[in-house]
Structure 1
Amino acid sequence: MQYDVILPAAGSGKRMGAGKNKLFLQLKEKTILIHTLQVFEEDSWCRGIYLAVKDTEREVIEALLQTHGITKVKAMPTGGDERQHSVQSCMKEIGQGEIVLVHDAARPFITQSIIHELAEAALEKGAAVAGVRAKDTMKRVEAGVIQETVDRSTLWMIQTPQAFRFDWLKEAEDAAERDDFLGTDESMLVERQGQSVHIVESSYENVKITTKEDLVFGEAILNQRIGG
């Protein structure tokens, strides 16, 4: 089994308030980006990594790859204004393949076991995404007033990676471009084509580093994993 993985890495990270791309912030003396890349670099199933980047950050990222021995990055196309456009740029660089994963570059704690479950599910069923069950009571709210309590037993919080047969995602991306449709994630684009997307249960540790509080959580996860 082999897959290619797309990492959109051209975001602004405004919610972090760090004054720079949050992927360059450090956890345990390595950047968030390198932590994420190393998961795929060390996975024998990973055929290639495709990074969508800002042109102004290309040299910095190239230096990080060389310093940390990241060899599986096959291309670094310029990222678009939206995640969807960045993913499409990477799809064009891949050209053709069997299984493709899309993963948030700011989720450094994904494990190989979950990645492999997703790749196998995508091969068998066409599309699968990582997710965790909603833990909190969920309410539907309009204009600041609760309208109803939603049954959380059917609700999942969706993460990445999201895994697809290459042709399924390409068809969905092409259709979205043709229709000038902007989705919230790749799963939404594939669902829009009438395809079924399956869930692979992930871990609550697979957090996306978005705020300063997430950095604290990330440090705690690393400390637990390395016994620090």
Structure 2
Amino acid sequence: MKYYAIIVAGGSGNRMQTETPKQFLLLKNLPVLMHTIKAFGQSDTQPKILLVLSKDQQDNWAHLCEEFNFRIPHEVIDGGKERFHSVKNALQTIEGDGFVAIHDAVRPLASKTLIDNCFKAAEVQGNAIAAIQSSDSVRMLRDKKTSALKRDEVYLVQTPQTFSLSILREAYNQDFANHFTDDASVVESVGYGINIIEGERENIKITYPIDLELAELLLKN
């Protein structure tokens, strides 16, 4: 069986209040993106790592790899206009069958166990996405009115999101739509049910400055 990891690194630094893209910010003296790639490099499945990066960031990444002596094997793929197009570009470089984990570049704390569990579950069920149950009360806003939702029925979606290649190819053969917020929504739109496995509270997404501070604390522990 062949395994792949598509790491999508198209983010900017806007919400981090910095000109440096989030994936290149330092976390415990190493760029965030390197922590993310290392997590997949430690997986039992040893997936081929495909890093999707916009063309204007690829030289910077190459320089960072030299500066930090980063040698984990990976292939750099040109990013697209939207995340959808970036993932599609990576898929087009893969031949044959297997399983693919798609992961946010700015989720650097995903554990080896979580990655391995996602691959194992996808092998059995065709797909598996990491998600955690909401610990907060949740309300939905619609037509300027709010209503309470049952929080034990609400899950916060993370990555990795792992799929068989046959399912992904079918899903990404369609045209882009604005309601595609993640890979699961792309796959669901062609008729597949989505399977959830338990994610990790520590598997945070680096979006705001406080997230980077929290990640530093989690790594120290």
TM-score by length of 2: 0.93
CA distance in 2, matches of 1:112, 1:24: 22
Gaps of 5+ in 2: none
CA distance in 1, matches of 2:21, 2:190: 33
CA distance in 2, matches of 1:105, 1:40: 11
1:63 Cα deviation after fit: 3.1
SS at match of 2:131: strand
CA distance in 2, matches of 1:190, 1:57: 28
Q: Which amino acid aligns with 1:59?
A: D
Task: Tell me if the contact between 1:41 and 1:70 (Cα under 8 Å) persists in the aligned partners.
Answer: no
Partner of 1:94: 94
Task: Tell me if the contact between 1:47 and 1:72 (Cα under 8 Å) persists in the aligned partners.
Answer: no
Task: Tell me if the contact between 1:88 and 1:173 (Cα under 8 Å) persists in the aligned partners.
Answer: yes
Partner of 1:220: 217
Q: Which amino acid aligns with 1:71?
A: I
1:81 Cα deviation after fit: 1.7
SS at match of 1:72: coil
Compared with structure 1, are the counterparts of its residues 144 and 220 closer, same or farther at alpha carbon in structure 2 (3 Å cutoff)? Answer: farther
Which residues in structure 2 correspond to 1:1-228 (within 5 Å)?
A: 2-66=2-66, 67-73=68-74, 75-142=75-142, 145-146=145-146, 148-175=147-174, 177=175, 180-182=176-178, 183-224=180-221
Render the CA deviation track for 1:140-180: whole Å, top value 9, x for unaligned. 2246543x2111111100000000001101110112x2xx4
CA distance in 2, matches of 1:70, 1:159: 27
SS at match of 1:117: helix
Task: Tell me if the contact between 2:132 and 2:200 (Cα under 8 Å) persists in the aligned partners.
Answer: yes
Aligned sequence identity (%): 31
1:52 Cα deviation after fit: 1.1
Instruction: Report the structure, 1 or 2, having the larger helix content.
Output: 1
1:57 Cα deviation after fit: 1.5
SS at match of 1:87: helix
CA distance in 2, matches of 1:42, 1:64: 21
Gaps of 5+ in 1: none
Q: Which amino acid aligns with 2:121?
A: A
1:205 Cα deviation after fit: 0.5
Render the CA deviation track for 1:89-125: whole Å, top value 9, x for unaligned. 1111123331001000000000111111110111111
- The range that moved more, 5-14 or 30-39, is 5-14
Q: Which amino acid aligns with 2:19?
A: G
1:10 Cα deviation after fit: 2.2
Task: Tell me if the contact between 1:2 and 1:46 (Cα under 8 Å) persists in the aligned partners.
Answer: no
CA distance in 1, matches of 2:184, 2:156: 13
Q: Which amino acid aligns with 1:161?
A: P
- RMSD, aligned CA: 1.6
Task: Tell me if the contact between 1:34 and 1:64 (Cα under 8 Å) persists in the aligned partners.
Answer: no
Compared with structure 1, are the counterparts of its residues 2 and 70 closer, same or farther at alpha carbon in structure 2 (3 Å cutoff)? Answer: farther
CA distance in 1, matches of 2:71, 2:204: 23
TM-score by length of 1: 0.90
Task: Tell me if the contact between 1:65 and 1:71 (Cα under 8 Å) persists in the aligned partners.
Answer: no
Q: How many residues align?
A: 219
SS at match of 2:84: helix
- The range that moved more, 155-164 or 39-48, is 39-48
Q: Which amino acid aligns with 1:157?
A: L
